[in-house]
Amino acid sequence: MPSDLRIFTREYPSGTVWDMPALNVEFSERELEDLRQIAKERGTSMKALVREAAAADIARHRALQEGAEAFRRFFAGHAEEFAAAFPDDERPARGEAA
């Protein structure tokens, strides 16, 4: 396995990367030139650079989802306390005037 992919494929058993699905991504000429320059500066391949960016965004997305779910659980578990602390922010009950 090329060394530039090892850091991005720790979750996968050795040899499975070559059997993974691929994705063709279109870039503008400017974007490609920027990618080439960044990859060169980092001493890595463009493929590894794009994989790293995608993996980082996936991790960020998962962390945001987990954080949002933790907030929802916390808020639901303390709904009465929030209602008491911020009564002006409570929605009127059905049938009550706004």
**Residue 54 counted as domain residue:** yes
What is this structure's pTM?
Answer: 0.61
pLDDT (0 to 100) of residue 1: 41
Domain assignment of residue 8, given as a range: 3-89
**Residue 11 counted as domain residue:** yes
93 pLDDT tier (thresholds 50, 70, 90): confident
**Residue 95 counted as domain residue:** no
Is 60 exceeded by the pLDDT of residue 66? yes
**Residue 97 counted as domain residue:** no
**Residue 94 counted as domain residue:** no
**Residue 50 counted as domain residue:** yes
Q: Which two tokens stand for residue 23?
A: 């994705």
DSSP helix/strand/coil, 21: coil
**Residue 98 counted as domain residue:** no
pLDDT (0 to 100) of residue 7: 52
Give the C-alpha distances (Å, rounded to integers) separating 40 from 21, 44, 48, 67: 26, 6, 11, 35
**Residue 77 counted as domain residue:** yes
pLDDT in tens, 16-29: 556 778 889 999 99
Q: How many domains does the chain have?
A: 1
| Mean per-residue pLDDT of the chain | 84
